[in-house]
Structure 1
Amino acid sequence: MRGSVRALVVACAVLAVLVSSACAFPVDGRAVAGPEVTAGIDPSFIRGTDGGEEDRLAAATLRDLEGFWGQALPALPGGTPFRPLAGYYSVDPGAGRPSAATGVPCLRNPQEVQGTAFYCPSADIIAWDRGELLPQLRRDFGDAAVVVVLSHEFGHAVQGRLDRTGALQNAPTILLEAQADCYAGVFLRKVRDGALPDLRTGAAGIDGAMGALIGFRDPVGTSPRNADAHGNAFDRVSSFQDGFDGEPAVCAAMGREREFTQQSFRSQADESAGGNLGLQPLIDAMVPDLDRWFGEEVRRRGGQWTPPGTERDQATCPGTDGAVQGPVAWCAPDGGGPSAVHIDAAGRLPTDHAQIGDYATGTLLASRYGTAALAALNRPTTGAEGGRAALCLAGAYSAAVGTGGSSFALSPGDLDEGVTLLLREDTPSRGTDGVAAAGTGYERIRVFRAGVTGGPDACLRGV
């Protein structure tokens, strides 16, 4: 909400000679790890390699990238036969200055690559920190995180090979980064589908790759017009999913008309407050607006809306075995009384609220009000169908906050907090019987995004 921001901290290293991503990412909260992707292949073609596991994984990734883009690039508008990159460089910044034989183009000294990976267009090379970055990616998010980072950097090389007219030279950085995220999504889909010689992963690996993208997001409040802007978490996972669910041509067609949700702070007070509302202040601020928006949507469709009560107690409903909906539950009327949203503030909700940010709680509240709206419209509230529609409606509400009769707006980091929660937990996607709409963070974020982009009509048509 306005003034309610808690970032996954990202510190981006700015290399003056580069125009691509290079970010270190200390991350708050729980990581989302994926399984092993591959045992790797011989990395001897990588300059400066130590032959270890990280570079074997990088080697498998780069070889599969070369093979994939060797087939895909010529078929794209403006595409030509794929020209291999000039080189790949593995650097251990802790090992001191490299010798002349292993010197890395675009770097003055090895410390400049610490915690980063980058593509240097002037030399047409990709370099990475194998001493810190790759081990941390594998430890925190699984092997697929290494794949997504390198495939993103490879995406910048693809951009240069397609941009024969120089049209991208003056494009906003955030657009170039979104396109590279999209190309990474296309490639990870091939990995997931087992369509490449060396790499394999499952759904958990894809969630791990998305966790890494969230970790690489811009610091909250970064202007989308910033020369180094890479995108917030919502924008980055959106671009990745557009590629994962599409084809290379979808990414290549990205233009200046693409809309981004990233925004800078609108007031000094919002920025200086750190943005995070406490649990009870958030509830006090959101509940009237939830009643307003969902009531309007129900009445617009011919339904009758009675605002649910709000109870701070165990998030359980009569006839259910425990808190099957999670820490926030919507319960149907019992004994002639009104329906109610029950909020368990004694469990893990306060922890997620503090670690992720206040719109983690906001996403849960919005999804339960979505359930109340489904009930008012005589729509299913149970099973995957009910959970999916409720989560989608939470996305639709999130897009509408700050418009119409809303008395407040989302702060710059709030959508990021929502997708971070969705990557980790299925509670916002559960029906009233506890059945989750999706077993992966990828699918939960996809459903939420469908509401953000398509509005409530898309949710009620089915997503």
Structure 2
Amino acid sequence: MTFRNKRAVRGGRATALGGVALAVAALLVGCTRTVDGTGAAERWSATKVAGLDITTGESGPRPGEPDTRLVAEGSDGGELDRLARNAVDDVQKYWADELPAAFDRRFDPVTRLISYDSTGPEVTVCNTGTAGAVNAFYCAPDDSVAWDRGQLLPTLNDSFGPMAVVAVLAHEVGHAVQFQLGSVDGQTSSIVKEQQADCYAGSFFRWVAEGNAPHFQLSTGPGLNQILATLFFIRDGAGTGFDAEGAHGNAFDRVSAFQFGFGDGPERCARIDDTEVRRRITQPASGQSPPTDEVTGNLPVDDPDSLLAMQETLRAVFDRSGARWPAIRQALSPCPEVAVTTPASYCPATNTVGLDLAELGRLGTAPERGEGGMGDFAAFAEVASRYALARQQAEGYPLTGLATAQRTACMTGVWAATIVAGRGAVLQLSPGDLDEAVAEMLAPRSLIAADVNGGGIPSGFARVEAFRDGFSAGEIAPCLEKYR
């Protein structure tokens, strides 16, 4: 986050979010290679995600299903190539039906599938050498989809399971769809192409979740969470501008695009253009930097000045005329009829937000320090979620139940919208901050999207969607109206 008064902040600078995810993201920037020459609002349900029942069944390849007959050039005949070929087959079956239905256009399967090993002898694919090319991409000149079986596919499969491989290849076939529709050309920005492809992948996974895919199955609880975690893993680094060559989007924007496709279908994806992206994108442009009197990076969330600044931003958004502000106490205390949550807890009886400073500090630690932290924004947002409960109590809303948990996530998103850089708040968002919120809400336990007792919906997709509702609205009323 950014603190506008650098003299009030103690501690060194640190970069929020990092590690192996950014290393892989940097290698995926060439997702589309060329050679020179939001739908109607849906009634919310605690048991559904984008209109589908929240399920916790198996996700991955369907057992006993015959393999596709598709052939990949250069394949070693191994399990990962088999997984990739089956993935492309299912994605193309989806588009064979969906492209005519949605756009009155015939879908033509890609001409070539290519498997290569980035750790092995170099070959040329799409006029590019494969040595060290940890990547998957669509090549427009020869209408091919290529993937690295040496490092990329094993990393995705080992980290997130086989559906991560399916997700990446669904994204790549999405680029083929763009070219067949004629919606992109050499002048189209990278971020538009990539946001569309994420969206098209989301529409495909809706089809999978509905049970239509021959080779794969997907639960809308843990299974869908893993897909979103994959998008988090391959996000742009915090220093990448959305207008940079090869930009794909930060985690928040990539997940948003995927959710558009999953919830609203491919027609919504086709509406993603430069104007839509610039209106919605949260990733800063290249070269944007804070004024010299500001401190950015990972702030010490347990510092008294940071806590005072956070409280100022919370009061600005959650204050209600005639209501008493909740006090913030730097300790957790038992509360009648309410379970104490950590690192922050709201007690309705005393109208107080209690903090476990040690745990808050640990959570606020940048991930690359190896201390189990998520970053400063994740920690601040957990405190904000407890403050949001005080506003709900003032409005007469219940503080327990799944609707409360989603309402809380939505209201925390509203708070995040009020501290966007340039709006004058004493605390402001820095690049990578919203990605920390995504990571927190995809974790098994999310306090951002929890009721007063810490309970919430098991679907990370639904949690992030509620947060995005609030962030997009920028005001509390829609949260109170939708999540009842």
TM-score for both structures, normalised by structure 2:
0.82
- 8 A Cα contact 2:323 2:394, kept in partner: yes
Going from structure 1 to structure 2, the CA distance change for 1:418 and 1:15 (only over 3 Å counts) comes to closer
Q: CA deviation at 1:112?
A: 4.7
Q: CA deviation at 1:349?
A: 5.9
Give 4+ residue runs of structure 1 displaced > 4 Å after superposition. Answer: 14-17, 268-271, 402-405
1:18 matched to 2:33? The reply is: yes
Of 133, 150, 175 in structure 2, the residue corresponding to residue 131 of structure 1 is: 150
1:291 matched to 2:315? The reply is: yes
Q: CA deviation at 1:88?
A: 0.7
Letter in 1 for 2:402: A
1:243 matched to 2:261? The reply is: yes
Going from structure 1 to structure 2, the CA distance change for 1:433 and 1:105 (only over 3 Å counts) comes to closer
Structure 1, residues 317-372: CA drift from partner, whole Å, max 9, x if none? Answer: 23335x3x3421111234xxxx2111123347614543221110121111111101
Partners of 1:316 and 1:62 lie apart in 2 by 54
- 8 A Cα contact 2:470 2:476, kept in partner: yes
- Which sits farther off after the overlay, 37-46 or 379-388? 37-46
1:80 matched to 2:105? The reply is: yes
Q: CA deviation at 1:17?
A: 8.9
Partners of 1:421 and 1:316 lie apart in 2 by 25
Higher relative contact order (Cα pairs below 8 Å, separated by 6+ residues)? 2
Structure 1, residues 26-54: CA drift from partner, whole Å, max 9, x if none? Answer: xxxxxxxx953445725761112222221
Task: Output the aligned Cα RMSD.
Answer: 2.5
SS in structure 1 of the partner of residue 427 of structure 2: coil
1:329 matched to 2:349? The reply is: no
Partners of 2:413 and 2:74 lie apart in 1 by 46
The number of aligned residues is: 427
- 8 A Cα contact 2:22 2:233, kept in partner: yes
- Which sits farther off after the overlay, 397-406 or 383-392? 397-406
Structure 1 unaligned regions, length at least 5: 21-33, 99-103
Letter in 2 for 1:70: A
Going from structure 1 to structure 2, the CA distance change for 1:16 and 1:189 (only over 3 Å counts) comes to closer
Where does residue 461 of structure 1 map in the other structure? Answer: 481
Where does residue 171 of structure 2 map in the other structure? Answer: 152
Letter in 1 for 2:338: T
TM-score for both structures, normalised by structure 1:
0.85
Partners of 2:102 and 2:397 lie apart in 1 by 44
Q: CA deviation at 1:373?
A: 0.5
Structure 2 unaligned regions, length at least 5: 4-13, 36-57, 368-373
Where does residue 82 of structure 2 map in the other structure? Answer: 56
Structure 1, residues 152-199: CA drift from partner, whole Å, max 9, x if none? Answer: 011000000001xx6543222111110000000001111122111111
Letter in 1 for 2:289: R
Of 423, 439, 444 in structure 1, the residue corresponding to residue 458 of structure 2 is: 439
Partners of 1:206 and 1:162 lie apart in 2 by 28
Partners of 2:60 and 2:108 lie apart in 1 by 30
Q: CA deviation at 1:316?
A: 4.6
Q: CA deviation at 1:314?
A: 2.8
Of 85, 97, 100 in structure 2, the residue corresponding to residue 71 of structure 1 is: 97
1:183 matched to 2:205? The reply is: no
Q: 1:302-341 alignment to 2 at 5 Å? A: 304-314=322-332, 316-321=334-339, 323=340, 325-334=341-350, 339-341=351-353
Going from structure 1 to structure 2, the CA distance change for 1:123 and 1:268 (only over 3 Å counts) comes to farther
Q: CA deviation at 1:140?
A: 1.0
Structure 1, residues 188-238: CA drift from partner, whole Å, max 9, x if none? Answer: 111122111111121212111111111111111322221221111111000
Structure 1, residues 87-131: CA drift from partner, whole Å, max 9, x if none? Answer: 111111222135xxxxx5314432152x21111111111111111
- 8 A Cα contact 1:76 1:249, kept in partner: yes
Going from structure 1 to structure 2, the CA distance change for 1:187 and 1:375 (only over 3 Å counts) comes to same
Q: CA deviation at 1:401?
A: 1.4
- 8 A Cα contact 2:68 2:89, kept in partner: no
Letter in 2 for 1:462: K
Partners of 1:47 and 1:118 lie apart in 2 by 15
SS in structure 2 of the partner of residue 310 of structure 1: strand
Where does residue 284 of structure 2 map in the other structure? Answer: 263
Going from structure 1 to structure 2, the CA distance change for 1:411 and 1:383 (only over 3 Å counts) comes to same
SS in structure 2 of the partner of residue 280 of structure 1: coil
Where does residue 190 of structure 2 map in the other structure? Answer: 173
Going from structure 1 to structure 2, the CA distance change for 1:19 and 1:276 (only over 3 Å counts) comes to farther
Where does residue 125 of structure 2 map in the other structure? Answer: 105
Letter in 2 for 1:122: P
